[in-house]
Structure 1
Amino acid sequence: MNLMLDRQVLGALSITLAIVASAPYIHSTLRGVTRPHLCSWMTWAVVTTVVFFAQLQSQGGIGAWPTGVSALLTIFVALLAWRKRGDVMVSRMDWAFLLASLSSLPLWYLAEDPLSAVIMLTTVDVLGFGPTLRKAYHQPQSEPAVFYALVAMRNLTAILALEHHSLTTVLFPAVLGWVCLVILGLLLWRRAALAPAQAKEFR
């Protein structure tokens, strides 16, 4: 009973972190300060939605719901990215990531195994960070660092809230959390590296 209650608390905390992380990002996007990469967010929207249903099928229970909430938030940001056209540099590789994420649906259906879909989607999701990593390196001020810190924390609490831990339920949030920490480190490093040059421009 206490264990179930703890998972409910962790699940609620994870959902709260997802909302808290996304709210300023969405607000910043609406103001035109943050420019989300269209294909990255479309890819993540598809990936997160499919992983949510895969976690449910694999008895993820309460711990799957933060992924579901994240899927809704990601879809909304993808719609904003489309409306705002934040990053118009969409390459063939970007579209390839999106098509690869969509191809996971027939793979799941044919294999009748959510793990196959989750492995493919996790790979696609990591590759989908390519455009954002490139932008974070060249334009570190265009991405809010706190967003990635909160997402990493959200994924940790979501893993702890899972009712059933298996490769299918844990792989995606664990890898995504690690990637968010990499982006966070990249943003902080590049901002520090560019700070002296930017200071000279304002003199």
Structure 2
Amino acid sequence: MTIKEVLSAIAIALTLAAFLPYIRDIVQEKIQPHVFSWVIWGSTTCVVFGAQLQSGGGAGAWAIGVSGTITILIAVLAYIKRADIAITKTDWCFFTAAMSSIPLWYFTSDPMWAVIVLTAVDLLGFGPTIRKAYAAPNSESLAFFGLFAVRNSIVVMALERYSVATVLFPAAITAACLMLMLLIVYRRRVLEADT
């Protein structure tokens, strides 16, 4: 195995380490993920996986593919468990923007533009979760987003080719996860101080 494949295996292991407790917490109704955030994230992650492969991301893209598949499954599970299924007009805008990246990629024949659009949409997909985490910070898992920040950092190191199309998505998601974690910690402290 090459070092890139080892890093990819570590990133996949971290993906599973993050998702399995998150799925367990959904089933046990300890957390209530926003369904549409997960639909958006799953859709964008799967398309980014394809774009990364086309752009030569190689082993570094594997964890993104695993993540996209599990993310779609979480969206389905969140819907079945009736977690946070409130869908606003803004949520539909995020979803429409995510889906618009596919024809953009097709017509430009350049995965970079799809990744740019998808990264922006994926970051906007954090919107419903940020809104929910602000109001109910205990409804989200710090460990989950922490593991994803680490995982995406390793994904960048595992990439076999570095370009906007391969690096932008995992780097931006790392930053978004860290910012969401800061919000959750801050809001938990504020709510604890108020009680």
Length-normalised TM-score, structure 2: 0.97
| 1:6 and 2:3 matched | yes
| 1:179 and 2:176 matched | yes
* Partner amino acid, structure 2, of 1:86: A
Q: How does 1:103-142 map to 2 (within 5 A)?
A: 103-142=100-139
| 1:68 and 2:65 matched | yes
Rounded to whole Å, the distance in 2 between the matches of 1:196 and 1:60 is: 46
| 1:146 and 2:143 matched | yes
* Partner amino acid, structure 2, of 1:38: V
Q: Structure 1 stretches (4+) deviating beyond 3 angstroms?
A: none
Unaligned runs of 5+ in 1: 199-203
Q: Cα distance, 1:104 vs. partner?
A: 1.1
Q: Cα distance, 1:9 vs. partner?
A: 1.2
Residue of structure 1 in register with 2:19 after alignment = 22
Residue of structure 2 in register with 1:52 after alignment = 49
After superposition, what is the alpha-carbon deviation per residue over 1:61-116, rounded to whole angstroms, capped at 9, x for unaligned? 00000100101110110111221221132101101111111121111111111011
After superposition, what is the alpha-carbon deviation per residue over 1:107-165, rounded to whole angstroms, capped at 9, x for unaligned? 11111110110000001111111110011111000001010100000000000000001
Q: Which moved more, 1:78-87 or 1:156-165?
A: 78-87
Contact 2:98 2:118 in 1 (8 A): yes
* Partner amino acid, structure 2, of 1:190: R
Q: Secondary structure at the match of 1:103?
A: helix
RMSD: 1.0
* Partner amino acid, structure 1, of 2:175: W
Rounded to whole Å, the distance in 2 between the matches of 1:190 and 1:133 is: 11
Rounded to whole Å, the distance in 2 between the matches of 1:193 and 1:173 is: 30
Length-normalised TM-score, structure 1: 0.94
Identity of aligned residues (%): 48
| 1:32 and 2:41 matched | no
Residue of structure 2 in register with 1:41 after alignment = 38
Rounded to whole Å, the distance in 2 between the matches of 1:177 and 1:192 is: 23
Larger radius of gyration: 1
- How many correspondences in the alignment? 195
Q: Secondary structure at the match of 1:56?
A: helix
* Partner amino acid, structure 2, of 1:85: R
Rounded to whole Å, the distance in 1 between the matches of 2:54 and 2:191 is: 46
Unaligned runs of 5+ in 2: none
Rounded to whole Å, the distance in 2 between the matches of 1:110 and 1:49 is: 19
Rounded to whole Å, the distance in 2 between the matches of 1:88 and 1:127 is: 17
Q: Secondary structure at the match of 2:32?
A: coil
